[in-house]
Amino acid sequence: MVIIKRKELSFIEKLYLPQIFQALSHSFRAMFQPRITRQYPEEPLPTNEVTRGQPRLTLLEDGEHLACVSCGLCEAACPAYAITIDGHETERFIEREPERFEIDMLRCILCGFCEEACPKDAIFMSDELELADFSRAALVYDIDKLKRPREELQGRIDYFYQVNDRWRTPSSTS
Amino acid sequence: MPLPLVWLIKVVLIYGGLITVAAAMSLAERKVSAWIQWRVGPNRVGPWGLLQPVADGVKFIFKEELVPEGANQTLFRLAPILSAVPPMLAVAVIPFAGEVSIGGHVTTLSIADLDISTLYVVAIGGLGIYGVILGGWSSNSKYSLLGGLRASAQMVSYELSLLLSILVVVVLSGTLDLRQIVNDQAGPIFAWNIFALPVGPIAFLLFVIATFAETNRHPFDFAECEPELVGGFHTEYSSMKFALFFLGEYCAMTVMACLTTVFFLGGGNIPWWPDAPWLLELTCFLSKMGFFLFLFLWVRWTLPRFRFDQLMALGWKVMLPIAIANVFVTGALLSLGWFA
Amino acid sequence: MTRITINGKEVEADPKKPLITACHEHAAQVPMYCYHPGLTPVGSCRICQVELQQGEIPPRIVVACRTPVAEGMVVNTETPQAHDARRQCLEFLLKNHPLDCPICDKAGECDLQDYSFSEGQAEGRSVEPRRKLEKRKNLGDVIVLDQERCILCSRCVRFFEDVTKKPQLTVSGLGSRSVISTFMDRPLTGNYQGNVADICPVGALTLSGFRFQARVWNLDKHLSTCGECSRGCSITVEVLRRKEVKRLRPHFNEEVNKWWMCDHGRFSYARLNAEDRLQGATLHQDGVPHPVDRETGIAAVVDMLRVHSGAYILISPWMTVEEGEQALAFCHALASPPRLLAPPTNDLKDDLLHTGEAAPNRRGLEGQGFQTQSRDDALSALAAAECAVLIGERITEILGVEALAELSNSIRLIIFDTHALQVSATNVCIGIPNAAERTGTWINVDGHAGRIAAAKPAPPGVASLTRSLEEIRAALAPVAGEVGS
């Protein structure tokens, strides 16, 4: 058992009034401090290539076709079951391309596993973080909403290679 | 211009002003809290968020009105009205400024000039508690009930100190008429009752503390007390009924700020300028009132809430003895001719 | 039985089988590409090399698939020499194998991928470019060949030689220019082409119907039985997202189909995915169907059967034994003779698997006491009947919609089928689950019981046939008692 002996308060301290006035002056001065609020929609969040935003699909140099071959590895890697892919045959040299590539952004947890699983550099985490709509269905993003020119994601791609190069071997990136 | 029309103009002006102040207070509360916490506060509706009260009002009107099962229907609906009306009635006798000429009629800037207006204010102001107690009791909710009970205990305790400090002023001025009390404080700043040494400052302090308790404001807002009672007496209220409680609270704050001004700070008097034009007097009154309104917010966002037993101890063991002693000292000094 | 030692453990081995079988039976991991238990071993891929010591001869590396078991053999699969031999072999196999696993349909069930992952090296050492060959060569309507992926194990060649006895494929060309091809580039024929896609150890031979349709790890596999002929081959029903049957594959069953199945059965899954299924029930008035829920349909059937006892009852040979039992009780309750519609025949009969009798459970239902009735007899009985109950998957299809359309409107026609029957004589149709949506047993032509499994959920509002019949019987029970007295 510990007996805590409280400090005896002097008469002035017992009045509490000096402390109250001190506190009031403190809060009054706080009114003139610089604001720390971020005016969010006008002042966007700072992002850089380390930001793991929503996943996006890269386009090939032709700017028309996805780099994705719908191998399904991101679908298998996704811990939130957010990705659904249906492939179909294409006449291009890569033989298969996604017919349907959907990411349910309501389920996506922005973990970046899809980016790591992808053998074709087809999916990367963008710096896009805003997600709002009036229906759930509209937040299931399809290819049209997901595709981005490779240049837009270039910063993230470079960063990704920089941090993952030691795990990668030359032959596994081809 | 006929006389009733003059009255009507005064009524519309003063009540319009009161409602505006109450609405502005709802915005000011959020703005001041934001400033004290290094934030910006509401700034989306209108310039600097000035239209926020309008948006709030519209939202309140369109909210669903819920009446809990098992609630006393009549009292549940009556309580917000009982809470909002008394402070509005009390404002009728506040002397905002001296003589004004409206349409050829020379009149005073208050709705009514009663010679017992102090008694009237105290009596009407005391009714406000019914709204809180009935609202808490009729909701059929344990949180509301506890909030109502606390409010009644708190108001009974602090009304005593409040009245005894008013008594000091009444004794000093020798009148129950608020306008007379104001006129009595005209002249140099030392004529204000707050400077009626030694009893004036003590009475002022007691009065201000008691007004905080009377209006259920921090640090004495035990009737609401969110961490303990969810929402306190208005837990079950929604929509405009909820808004009426807030209107009542802000009106009560406004009235209390006016009374503090009238009793202790000379009302609309400008020191050393007894014959100032009425507009300046009104401005002077409103700025004094504004300071006390700001004080309500300032204290709320500075001090933490008391514990309920501390509240009771402060009311009965500290403030009441000091207030009684203060009255006796005032009487004694007066009879000795100290204030002459 | 012969005693040999595998990885230091003395075991019994069958001398009639190659060494690799003994290794597999005793948990020694030996990979194999060209070896298939159903085909003649040729030892062309060399991946199954193990270290063998026999008597006084020093240990040497042999291929396990071509080495017969002999008394006193000491086999080691895990020595550095054996590992080395297999790794070098693997490196050569991968020398020209394209790295398109992300695209390849075999990925996930590919022997070469699995073994490369566990034993292969991460980096290739060769600097020469890989072979460029044809990536998409159609070998008939069923099979597509990717020559780059092929490792020339010749399993497909031997399948046509050993199993169908009609050789159609060969390895043509020499050395690095060797490819699999048909004689004179003629398309593949026959009812067993699909099997070569199953036995191909890599993704060289793929089914054109399944190509790029689904990733194999997304398929839920359910052991079941094929219902397209009375052979009743054991199969796996592979379902994508609990919704769509994507492929049917043979499952090894020593007594029925070994490793094989026919293309007729393999590509019958379109029927299992049919979209226009009957949900709940339909009540027909003047030939116009009105959809109602199953309970309402059942009530209508009960009302009808109360008036017309002794209705003509005919069941489909696709019904399971369990459903047959319930149908038998139903017949007894209505005092009707239990009748089974004779399964249709087709000209697909061969001496390998297909029986030519296009229904899976005639034998099981006959064994339960149903009397087989030919289609013509059934139709004439229907024309004479006052009230008829047709029960089971595909029964209206076998009888023929045109023939049923000729029935007079005076007949009370009650149908339990997967699809509604749109003819004027119909009164009530009640939906039932199809073969991929229910569980039960089929008895094949030789008397082997084959289990069918529910691989996907039935359409909304559809309950099992057993339940529907039981409910009707329960509702009729008091009336049936009165009739009996």
The per-residue pLDDT for range B287-332, each reduced to its tens digit, is: 999 999 999 999 988 988 888 888 888 889 989 999 999 999 998 9
Angle at A17 between CA A13 and CA A21, to 5 degrees: 120
pLDDT at C160 over 90: yes
C60-to-B133, C52, C90, C370 alpha-carbon distances in Å: 100, 5, 19, 64
Query: Based on the structure, what is the number of domains in chain B?
Result: 1
Q: How high is the mean pLDDT of chain C?
A: 90
Find out whether C82 and C63 touch, Cβ atoms under 8 Å. no
Tell me the C-alpha distance between B269 and A121, whole Å: 79
Tell me the C-alpha distance between A169 and A173, whole Å: 7
Does A33 contact chain C (CB < 8 Å)? no
Does C352 contact chain A (CB < 8 Å)? no
The strand pairing partners of C205, in sequence order, are C145
Q: Are strands C312-315 and C339-341 parallel, antiparallel or unpaired?
A: parallel
Query: Based on the structure, what is the number of domains in chain A?
Result: 1
Alpha helices in B237-319 (DSSP H): 239-264, 278-300, 308-313
In a 10 Å sphere around its CB, with 0-12 CB exposed, 13-18 middle and 19+ buried, how is residue B64 labelled? exposed
End-to-end CA distance of chain C: 68
In this predicted model, which residue has the larger pLDDT, B180 or C438? C438
Does a structural domain hold residue A38? no
pLDDT at B226 over 80: no
Alpha helices in C319-464 (DSSP H): 321-333, 362-367, 375-384, 395-399, 401-405
Does a structural domain hold residue A1? no
pLDDT at A174: 41
Query: What's the predicted TM-score (pTM) here?
Result: 0.71
Does a structural domain hold residue A172? no
Tell me the C-alpha distance between B257 and B254, whole Å: 5
* Cα-based torsion angle of the residue sequence B154, B156, B162, B164 in order, rounded to the nearest 10 degrees: -140
Lowest mean pLDDT among A64-68, A163-167, C217-221, C262-266: A163-167
> Which tens digits make up the pLDDT trace of C429-465?
999 999 999 999 999 999 999 999 999 999 998 999 9
The candidate with the shortest Cα–Cα distance to C293, out of C459, C435, C79, C156, is C459
Alpha helices in C263-369 (DSSP H): 263-266, 269-272, 294-307, 321-333, 362-367
Tell me the C-alpha distance between C251 and C236, whole Å: 6
> Which tens digits make up the pLDDT trace of C15-71?
889 999 999 998 888 999 999 999 999 999 899 999 999 888 889 999 999 999 988
Tell me the C-alpha distance between B88 and C109, whole Å: 82
End-to-end CA distance of chain A: 70
pLDDT at A169: 55
Residue C484: pLDDT band (50, 70, 90) is very low
Q: What angle do helix axes B239-264 and B73-90 make, rounded to 10 degrees? A: 30
Pick the residue from chain A with its C-alpha nearest to C136.
Answer: A95
In this predicted model, which residue has the larger pLDDT, C348 or B275? C348
Q: How high is the mean pLDDT of chain B?
A: 86
Lowest mean pLDDT among A132-146, B168-182, C38-52: B168-182
Residues 6+ apart with CB under 8 A from A158: A49
Residues 6+ apart with CB under 8 A from B56: B26, B243
CATH number at residue C89: 3.10.20.740
The candidate with the shortest Cα–Cα distance to C215, out of B3, A75, B8, is A75
What range defines the domain where residue B45 resides? 3-49+68-335
Tell me the C-alpha distance between C216 and C106, whole Å: 8
pLDDT at B154 over 60: yes
> Which tens digits make up the pLDDT trace of B71-85?
888 888 888 998 889
What range defines the domain where residue C50 resides? 2-95
pLDDT at B197: 79
Judged by CB atoms closer than 8 Å, whether chains meet at A119 and C136 is answered as no
Does a structural domain hold residue A98? yes
What range defines the domain where residue A73 resides? 55-167
Helix, strand, coil in percent for chain C, rounding step 5: 30, 25, 50
Pick the residue from chain B with its C-alpha nearest to A23.
Answer: B302
Helices and strands (DSSP H and E) totals, chain A: 6, 6
What is the mean pLDDT of the segment spanning B330-337?
A: 87
Of C43, C64, C95, which residue constitutes the final position of a domain? C95
Residue with tokens 């239209």: B51
3-class secondary structure for C151-195?
CCCCHHHHHHHHCCCCCCEEEECCHHHCEEEEHHHCCCCCCCCCH
Q: How far is A68 from chain B (nearest CA, A)?
A: 43
In this predicted model, which residue has the larger pLDDT, A134 or B48? A134
Highest mean pLDDT among A54-63, B210-219, B225-234: A54-63
Does a structural domain hold residue A100? yes
Q: Is the ipTM of this complex over 0.95?
A: no
Does a structural domain hold residue B292? yes
Of C95, C115, C140, which residue constitutes the final position of a domain? C95
The strand pairing partners of C111, in sequence order, are none
| Contacts of C among chains (3+ CB pairs under 8 A) | A
Which of A84, A89, A102 best tests the C interface by mutation, with the highest count of C CBs <10 A? Answer: A89
pLDDT at B231: 76
Does A33 contact chain B (CB < 8 Å)? yes
A31: chain B residues, CB-CB within 8 Å:
32, 35-36
pLDDT at A166: 64
Residue A172: pLDDT band (50, 70, 90) is very low
pLDDT at B340: 66
pLDDT at A167: 62
Does B299 contact chain A (CB < 8 Å)? yes
Judged by CB atoms closer than 8 Å, whether chains meet at A37 and B303 is answered as no
> Which tens digits make up the pLDDT trace of C201-215?
999 999 998 999 889
Residue C225: pLDDT band (50, 70, 90) is very high
C123: chain A residues, CB-CB within 8 Å:
169-171
Residue C310: pLDDT band (50, 70, 90) is confident
Of C95, C121, C149, which residue constitutes the final position of a domain? C95
Does a structural domain hold residue A40? no
pLDDT at C478: 67
Count CB neighbours of B180 within 10 A: 17
Judged by CB atoms closer than 8 Å, whether chains meet at A27 and B39 is answered as no
Q: How far is A164 from chain C (nearest CA, A)?
A: 16
The DSSP secondary-structure symbol of C301 reads H
Residues 6+ apart with CB under 8 A from C391: C313, C314, C315, C316, C319, C327, C330, C416, C465, C469
Does a structural domain hold residue B61? no
pLDDT at C312 over 70: yes
The maximal CA–CA distance of chain A, rounded, in angstroms, is 92
Helix (H, G, I), strand (E, B) or coil at C335: coil
What is the mean pLDDT of the segment spanning C140-169?
A: 92
The candidate with the shortest Cα–Cα distance to C89, out of C28, C156, C36, C152, is C152
Tell me the C-alpha distance between B146 and A156, whole Å: 58
Find out whether A110 and A52 touch, Cβ atoms under 8 Å. yes
Residues 6+ apart with CB under 8 A from B99: B106, B107, B108, B278
pLDDT at C154 over 70: yes
Does A95 contact chain C (CB < 8 Å)? yes
Residue B222: pLDDT band (50, 70, 90) is confident
Q: How high is the mean pLDDT of chain A?
A: 87
Chains B and C touch (3+ CB pairs under 8 A): no
Query: Based on the structure, what is the number of domains in chain C?
Result: 2
And the tokens for B290?
A: 């504004």
Residue C86: pLDDT band (50, 70, 90) is very high
Tell me the C-alpha distance between A170 and C127, whole Å: 13
The candidate with the shortest Cα–Cα distance to C396, out of C286, C479, C298, C318, is C318
Find out whether B54 and B24 touch, Cβ atoms under 8 Å. no
Does A163 contact chain B (CB < 8 Å)? no
* Cα-based torsion angle of the residue sequence C199, C200, C203, C209 in order, rounded to the nearest 10 degrees: -50
A75: chain C residues, CB-CB within 8 Å:
215, 218
Does a structural domain hold residue A11? no
> Which tens digits make up the pLDDT trace of A18-43?
888 899 999 999 888 898 888 888 88
Which of B30, B37, B296, B305 best tests the A interface by mutation, with the highest count of A CBs <10 A? Answer: B37
Does a structural domain hold residue C375? yes
Judged by CB atoms closer than 8 Å, whether chains meet at C215 and A174 is answered as no
DSSP B86-110: HHHHHGGG---EEEEEETTEEEEES
* Cα-based torsion angle of the residue sequence B229, B231, B235, B240 in order, rounded to the nearest 10 degrees: 170
> Which tens digits make up the pLDDT trace of B120-141?
988 888 888 888 888 888 888 8
Tell me the C-alpha distance between C134 and C147, whole Å: 6
What is the mean pLDDT of the segment spanning A126-131?
A: 88
Q: In degrees rounded to 5, what are phi and psi of residue A125?
A: -80, 125
Residue C479: pLDDT band (50, 70, 90) is low
pLDDT at A115 over 70: yes
The residue type at B41: G
The residue type at A88: H
Does a structural domain hold residue A90? yes
B302: chain A residues, CB-CB within 8 Å:
23-24, 26-27
- Nearest by CB to residue A96, choosing from C123, C212, C218, is C212
CATH number at residue C374: 3.40.50.740
Does a structural domain hold residue B150? yes
Does a structural domain hold residue C237? no
In a 10 Å sphere around its CB, with 0-12 CB exposed, 13-18 middle and 19+ buried, how is residue B148 labelled? buried
Does a structural domain hold residue C205? no
CATH number at residue A136: 3.30.70.3270
